Structures are given as C-alpha cells and as structure tokens.
Amino acid sequence: MAMLRKDTHFEIHHLNEPKLLKVITLDEFIEQGLAVCAGSAEFGDLLLWLPNEERLRSPHLLSLPVGGFLIPEPLIGDFDSMRPHLHSPKDADVVQPGDVIAITPGNAMVRVLYRRGSDSNLLFMTDRCNSLCLMCSQPPKDIDDRWHIEENLRLIDLMDSDEENLGISGGEPTLYRDGLLEILAKCKAVLPQKSIHVLSNGRLFQDPSWIAALSAISHPQLSWGIPLYADNAEDHDHVVQAPGAFSETLQGLYNLARANQIIEIRVVLNRLTTPRLPELAHYVFRNLPFVRHVALMGIESTGLARKNYEELWIDPLDYQESLSQAVYFLFNRGVPVSIYNLPLCLIPAHLSRFARQSISDWKNLFIDTCQQCAAVKHCSGFFKSHTDRWQSRGVQLLSTEAFSAYARSAQ
Amino acid sequence: MWDFAVTLIATDAKHYRLLPFRFMRMNTGHDRDILLTSDTGEYMHVNDAQLRALSYFDVQASTHFYKDLLARHFIYEPGRHDPFPEMAAQYRSRKDFLFQGPALHLFVVTLRCNHTCQYCQVSRAPLGGSGHDLSEADAQAAVDRLFESNAPALTVEFQGGEPLLAFERVRQIVEWVVDRNVVEQRDIQFVITTTLHHLTEEILDFAEQNRIQFSTSLDGPAPLHNANRPTPSRDSYERTVKGIQWVRERLGHDAVSALTTLTSRSLEQPEAIIDEYVNQSFSSISLRPLSPYGFATKSAHRLDYPIERYLAFYKKALAYLLHINQQGVYLSESYTSLLLKNILTPFSSGYVDLRSPAGAGTAALVYNYDGYVYPSDEARMLLEMGEDGLRLGTVQQPLSELLGSTVMNALLASGVAEALPGCSDCALVPYCGADPVEHYARQADPIGHRVFSSFCKKNMGLLKHIFGLLCDGDDNVQRVLLSWLNRRSYNDVRFPGYRG
C-alpha cells in the first residue's frame, strides 16, 4: 500500500469557471453514458479520459459534447478544441477514471474529491468546530464555509453508485445542521449502497430535535463516530478544551440512541487519556451499552498535537498494559473493539487481532524500518505527518518468525 | 486553556454529594473488604478508610478514587456534570425486562408420569389415570393467552407429569401456535420438558419439523439418578441417556439440555455429577437446590437439607467446574452464568427467579391441566399440596384480567426487592430478585422474613462467593467465568482484562 496523494498539478486550458468533473473513459462513455454517475448529471459534468493515441487516431472525439478532456500524459501534437482540457500531470497516478475532481481557473492544482473504489472517500463539511481538542489534527478555522454543502451535494451526484464506505467529517459537521441533514438524505436516495460514517463530537445532539430529524431520514447504513476521552467531565473537558462538553456529548449520545443510530466511540490514545483507559472502557460498557464499536486510536502527530507535544506524548510501549486491560474488558463482554493507527511492532502479539489498517490510503506512510519488515502488508504503518519526535523506542522490523507469532496469536 | 477551579462553588465545604448507594462487609479477610454498590449495579471494593472518607465528604478531588466514585455514580458534583441521564440509562438497561409481557408460557398437558420420585416437584398421577390431562378447549384458550402477551420472543414449554404421555395434545398446540404465528410473526421457541422415556420416531419427526428443543432431567451417574428417580423397571438413567443420544442423532447435539435435581444424596458427590455431564458432553449444568414444593415438603424429613449444606456443595462443585474448564472442557453452571450477567453487565439476566419486580406472572404463566392459570411453576405445585391461593384465574379469562387479578396484585406488592424489609438495605439487591411465591410457600407470607429465608441465604451465599472469585480469583478463574458470560471458549478469553 503506497501513499497516494489527493491532489496534483496539471496544465489546464480554457477553464473559465470552477468545475466539479467526473473522469470517464471512452468505453464507459459509450456503454453507460450518464449512468456512470450515481445521481443526476449532464454531459457537461463529464471529463473524457483521452490518451494522445486515441485522440490522434480519432480526432472527431473532440466534438463529443462533454465538459472537457483529460490527457493523462504530456500532450503530443495540437489540441484542436476550445473546451477545457488538462494534460501533463505532475503525478500521473493521482487522477484515474471514475474519480471526481475539482478545478478552478488560474490554478494548476487538481483536487481529487472522490476516488473510485477507495474506502477513504470523504465529504468534508466545514473547517469550523465548537471544540478545540489538544490533539486536533485539523485545527478549526472561524470562517463561513457553507459552500462545502453545495459542493458535497454535487459530488454525491457524480460518485459511482458502488458499495463503498464514505466518510463525512470536518471540523464539526453538525454545525451546518440543515446542510448535513440534506446530505444524509441525499446519500440515502442517491448512494443507497454506500455505508456512511460521520465523525462528530456529538455535543449539538443534546438538542432533542435531532431525534426526529435523524429518525425521519432513517438511513440504514449510517453510523456515527463520537469521541469520548474520559469517564469524568473534568478530564474529558480538558482534552477537548470546552467546559460542559462531556455533559453535552453524553446527552447527545443518548439522543442518538433514541433515534436508533449506530454509534462508535473513538478514543485518541495519549498521555492524558491512557491512564484511565480501562476505567473509560468500563464507563462506556456500563453507561452506553448500545455502542456498537469502540476504536482506540494512536495519535496523529499533526495540527495542534505538535504544539501540545509535552502534554500529549507518551510512548505506546508505556501504555500497552492499560490498552490491553481496556481491550480485553470490552472484548470479553462482547463489545467489538479495534486498535487504530498503531504499528504492529508497538503492540503485544496478543493484541494484534484487534489492530486494523486504519490509516486512509492518501496519508498512509511506511518508514525506512518498515521496508524489510515481515508484517508490512498487515500493518497500519504511520501517518504521513510522522516525525522522529513522535516515534516510539519500540519501532522495529519484525522477522518472519516474530510475525508468525502475531499471526498465530490472531487465530 | 480553561481554568476549572474557578467554577467550583467556593462557599460549599462539601465539593461533592452522595448518590444512593449500599455497602456490605464481605469478610474476605483482605484490606478492601467492603463492597459498595449503586442502585443500578455499579460496584467497587473499598477499604474502611475509603468508606469513611466517602461518607465524611473527605475524598480529595482529582484522585483516582474520587474519579472512580464519580464515574460509577456514587457521588456527583453539584453545578457540574449531571449524571442522571447515565443513571437513567442504567436503570433502563437493568430493568429492561419490564418493557415486555410474559415471554415464558408453560403448558401442563398432563399430570401423568411413569416415575415415582419422592421429591417430585409437581405431584403426579398414575400412568393410566384419567382427568389429569389438559382439555382441547382449555389448550385452545391457552394459545389465545400466549398471543395476548406483547413479548416479541415467546417460549412455549410443555411440562407434566410427563408431557410425551399426552403427545397428541402437544402436537395440536404446536400446530395451532405455528398457524397463528404466520400472522403474528413472533420469534417462537418450543421446549418439551421430559424424561425422554417415551420418545418415538414420530415425535422426533415432528420435533425436527418444528425445531422443538428437549429439556430433560439427569441427576448424575446411574446409581444416583436411579435412586432419585424410581421406575418399576429401575432403568430411568439408561432410558434417559438413550433418549439423549437419540435426540442428538436426529436433531443435532444442542437440541437437548439437562437439569439436575439435587437430593440430600446428591450433595455428597459433586464431582461424580459433573463428570456425568462431561461424559454426556453437555455444555451447561444446572445445580439447583430442591424446591420446597410438590411432594418435597411432605417428605422433607428425609429429603430436605439446610441451605448451608447446599452452599458447601455448590462451592465444591464450582471449584471442580473451574478446574475442568481450565483443562479445555466447556461446562458452565447455568445459575452462576445468570448471576455473572447481573454482576458484570449493566443488564439483568431476566431470569424469572432473579427479577425485581418479581417474575412470577410478569415473566411467566403456567396453564395447568385443570384449566387454571398460575404465575409460576412453583405456584401451581402449591395447589397440588392443597393450597389454591395462588391461582390467577382460568385460562378462559383474557390475559389483562389474569394479570390484573388480586393474586397478581398481592405478589407484586411483595415483589419489589428494593422495597422489601431486609432487602432494601442489602448491597446485593441490584443483582438479586424477589420471590414472593417461595416466601409464601415456606413462610405463608409473600414478603417473608429474610432471617428465615432460604431464598435469601442461597442468593447471598452464591453472590458473595462469586464476588469473592471475581475479586480474588487468579487470571485463569476469571477467564473461565468470563467465558461463561458470553458462552465463549476458554481459549478465546485469553486475558481477563480490567476487573472493574
């Protein structure tokens, strides 16, 4: 698994306005036409994937009424059209047929908003947030960025209809309540095969009017990832830097349960959250028995986390026991539990069955040590933001023998 | 960064308030000898100094102990986090069984039986006896009552006597229920409680078609079983074991389960009884003491035993079970598993005898052969002893009338453990239940006095013992108990994890 960026540069011509375009091959265009998009689309929304060879062989293709053309290589010969066209990608792997891209005039940057077949696609809702978590990987911005709602509604139309996981995230997506509800309803109508996972701090759900709103949508494959950082208000509120947040999130969780929503609890592992991790597992099981999954997640060393290094950093080797106590407490009581973002070399073999390859493909990194490691194909690896300062003293390559102990332990 | 210290109410010397809790000395001999429990079943083991500090408002904020007390709702901080939503959720989980009507429906299709067991719980009629079978009209009315319950999952259990002696009635009832269920769409489980002596190919064919489970009695190895369960041919054990094998061949290994009745004789041989269950490859064993019903009370001088003897037996048996489970045999003790669920999870097992409000009538109904309806199996046994005070009415009356009867009112008025004298201040009450029928049977008073209550002695004894194992047992003991909790293999529970 190699990290695949979500943007690259092209040479872009004849683009007069910002566009969201669905990349489509000629074969797909002939066989499926607009049906390649899950929702409503026009020919002008399509960007025809047109290698030089095809264009030179059949120049009349340029008269197709599509929104533009993408030459996935350096341009050969003249391009005889006034319609938008892109060529000479800096990284030819980034944009592929089926993807949906965003381009703006005067900017060579091409952003991939939807990648065909990936389970890491995301509807990004906003940079705003009502919390200010000490380890936030994407520090919030106090701006009006409602335009994300329109872009996401458009993006949903242009996606493939296939079965994939789709995330919704921010910032705090519930801040744009009506926009979020509209997007969830549209996901249900246009992308019924995609399971939707929304990341939210859950605080605004303390308003019980969400219960009727979410029940009305009744999305069959919608789940919520809600963070809980402690079994008590003082510790949780400190981590999220918002007094009262613990009480609000708890009431929010009960309201989500009343709306029959599928709920996952997420805990970021750091110096503040690990000392009472077993007690937190106990608290979740006793008070939130409707929770379907608990994710215990290694920290992403970017954003505010870097600023708060002293307060947050703990070597994962130093919380192994706490992690193990929490994981087996939940597992033995039938609560599905996973460990995210921790490389296999940093967890004991007996916990490897709970470890997932959780890091999104576009920011997943394997460092030099990993290259000869027997476990590399099964390991979460690191975030692309990984630095030496955030590296455990336990990072090492596992020999084939060592890894087979992990594999045996996972059975 | 926020400074929370300024939000504390500076004028109040007490920075926390107590929430309702109970406590009990466990006499374990070690430091943390006091069990603290909340109304909803959270618990902590603490030492004397901690209990004193807690009650004198002397626990220092921000300490580990303080956070434990907060997180488990033993205390709260006025003006800060309000724990009532969590406590409400815990109440709701623990009393979840109240949301549905009776789920267990026992059909006593006949009182006839080929056994002459001295302790028989239900009395019996001779094989050729007449006037001891459930009539067709009453059976039909009972099926109506069954579907009047709003429970989404219903268990239809056939009892006797020996129900296979009235198999035609069993067949009829199953067919009526299956027909009705085309429209009703409930999740229905049929169980026949039987010695398996009267099995036929025809019965097994019918059981296969309707996925009927069998529940039998196996009291231990042949000498013990046959001594407990006399038949003219003295081969009760052999015929039951043959029946077990036959059911398994035809319907699969798990189509039959077994219960043990413990006579005075049984209490001397826990290992032999357990070994018998291992040999017959059962995955659970039920080590229940003799009930004070049926013939058992009349012959009490020979058969009954003090509950202390049962508790000593239970401890030996459990130790042996824990040992063999660690050797790779999966055999759980079913009552222990129920208590473990009550202790280790926010839920109640929902088991009829461990409910508060009491399960008699609210969880289970018995349709007796004579057309009368009883709130529990035990209540109808009182009838056979000459007590008719505990019947709810006749099977021809609608369920709402039966559940609104004077008897139900009396049972429920003495059926809320949290409000009973002797129970209301017991630290174990969140994990226990109320059994007004047993207290009525033993003490002629549905409330009863705890000091003379064998129900209380039994459950206190078992709960204390299990709390002791959960607190002091080594990792492997924990693993066995946790494997019983979710019916997982011992090897799958590799580590016990946080003990809570």
Structure confidence by residue, pLDDT tens digits, B155-202: 999 998 899 999 999 999 999 999 999 999 999 999 999 999 999 999
B90 touches chain A (CB under 8 A): yes
Q: Are residues A102 and A146 in the same domain?
A: no
The length of chain B is 500
Using a CB-CB cut-off of 8 Å, the residues of chain A touching B86 are 250, 287
| Nearest to B107, CA basis, from B369, B392, B403 | B369
Using a CB-CB cut-off of 8 Å, the residues of chain B touching A241 are 1-2
Query: In this predicted model, which residue has the larger pLDDT, B221 or B7?
Result: B221
Domain CATH number, residue A368 = 3.20.20.70
Q: Which residue type, as a one-letter code, is found at position B15? A: H
Q: Are residues A95 and A141 in the same domain?
A: no
Domain count, chain A: 2
A231 touches chain B (CB under 8 A): yes
The answer to whether the CB atoms of B2 and A243 lie below 8 A apart is yes
Q: Which pLDDT score, from 0 to 100, does residue B297 have?
A: 53
Distance CA B494, CA A136 (A): 35
Closest Cα of chain B to A170: distance in Å?
A: 22
* Percent of chain B with pLDDT strictly greater than 70: 92
Q: Which pLDDT score, from 0 to 100, does residue B204 have?
A: 98
B93 touches chain A (CB under 8 A): yes
A330 touches chain B (CB under 8 A): yes
Q: Which pLDDT score, from 0 to 100, does residue B384 have?
A: 62
Question: Tokens at residue A409, please?
Answer: 């332990």
Question: Tokens at residue A205, please?
Answer: 């759900």
H or E stretch covering B259: strand B256-262
B498 touches chain A (CB under 8 A): yes
The answer to whether the CB atoms of A332 and B1 lie below 8 A apart is no
Concatenated DSSP letters for A311-345? HH---GGGGHHHHHHHHHHHHHTT--EEEES--GG
Closest Cα of chain A to B152: distance in Å?
A: 18
Q: Which pLDDT score, from 0 to 100, does residue A361 have?
A: 83
Which residue, A94, A113, A132, sits at the end of a domain? A113
| pLDDT above 90 for B382 | no
A252 touches chain B (CB under 8 A): no
Q: Are residues A252 and A175 in the same domain?
A: yes
Using a CB-CB cut-off of 8 Å, the residues of chain A touching B85 are 250-251, 254
Q: Are residues A125 and A101 in the same domain?
A: no
Q: Kindly state whether residue A386 falls inside one of the protein's structural domains.
A: yes
Question: Tokens at residue A85, please?
Answer: 């066209």
Q: Which pLDDT score, from 0 to 100, does residue B2 have?
A: 46
The answer to whether the CB atoms of A334 and B68 lie below 8 A apart is no
Express each pLDDT in B437-477 by its tens digit.
Answer: 989 888 889 999 999 999 999 999 999 999 999 999 999 99
Question: Tokens at residue A162, please?
Answer: 């296939």
CA A99, chain centre distance (Å): 16
Q: Which pLDDT score, from 0 to 100, does residue B160 have?
A: 85
Q: Kindly state whether residue A2 falls inside one of the protein's structural domains.
A: no
pLDDT average, residue stretch B414-443: 94
Average pLDDT value over all residues in chain B: 92
The length of chain A is 411
Which residue, A113, A148, A182, sits at the end of a domain? A113
Q: Which residue type, as a one-letter code, is found at position A234? A: E
Q: Which residue type, as a one-letter code, is found at position B388? A: D
Distance CA A382, CA A365 (A): 5
- Report the residue from A243, A276, A282 with minimal CB separation from B500: A282
pLDDT average, residue stretch B59-73: 96
Q: Is B403 exposed, middle or buried (0-12, 13-18, 19+ CB in 10 A)?
A: buried
| pLDDT above 90 for B385 | no
Using a CB-CB cut-off of 8 Å, the residues of chain B touching A231 are 67, 70-71
Q: Are residues A52 and A188 in the same domain?
A: no
Asked if A409 and A350 count as a contact pair (C-beta separation under 8 A), the reply is yes
Using a CB-CB cut-off of 8 Å, the residues of chain B touching A242 are 2
What residue in B sits closest to A334 (Cα-Cα)? B486
The answer to whether the CB atoms of A331 and B497 lie below 8 A apart is yes
Q: Give the residue carrying structure tokens 């970017």.
A: A302
Asked if B277 and B258 count as a contact pair (C-beta separation under 8 A), the reply is yes
Q: Kindly state whether residue A237 falls inside one of the protein's structural domains.
A: yes
The boundaries of the domain holding residue A69 are 7-113
Express each pLDDT in B8-23 by its tens digit.
Answer: 444 456 899 999 999 9
The answer to whether the CB atoms of B497 and A330 lie below 8 A apart is yes
A313 touches chain B (CB under 8 A): no
Distance CA B367, CA B227 (A): 30
List, run by run, the mean pLDDT of 10-residue segments along chain A (411 residues).
83 96 97 96 97 95 95 93 95 97 96 95 97 96 96 98 96 98 98 97 98 97 98 98 98 98 98 98 98 98 96 98 98 97 95 94 90 93 94 94 85 64
The answer to which of A128-132, B267-271, B377-381 has the lowest mean pLDDT is B377-381
Q: Are residues A395 and A324 in the same domain?
A: yes
The answer to whether the CB atoms of B81 and A331 lie below 8 A apart is no
For chains A and B, CB pairs below 8 A equal 93
B100-403 to CATH, choices 3.90.1150.10, 3.20.20.70, 3.30.40.10, 3.40.250.10: 3.20.20.70
Q: Which pLDDT score, from 0 to 100, does residue A195 have?
A: 97
* Percent of chain B with pLDDT strictly greater than 90: 81
* Percent of chain A with pLDDT strictly greater than 70: 99
| pLDDT above 80 for B347 | yes
What residue in B sits closest to A276 (Cα-Cα)? B64
Domain CATH number, residue A42 = 3.50.30
Q: Are residues A182 and A215 in the same domain?
A: yes
Domain ranges of chain B: 4-94, 100-403
CA B187, chain centre distance (Å): 21
Q: Kindly state whether residue A221 falls inside one of the protein's structural domains.
A: yes
Asked if B260 and B225 count as a contact pair (C-beta separation under 8 A), the reply is no
Distance CA A50, CA A96 (A): 11
A323 touches chain B (CB under 8 A): no
| pLDDT above 70 for B299 | no
The answer to whether the CB atoms of A328 and B1 lie below 8 A apart is no
Closest Cα of chain A to B281: distance in Å?
A: 24
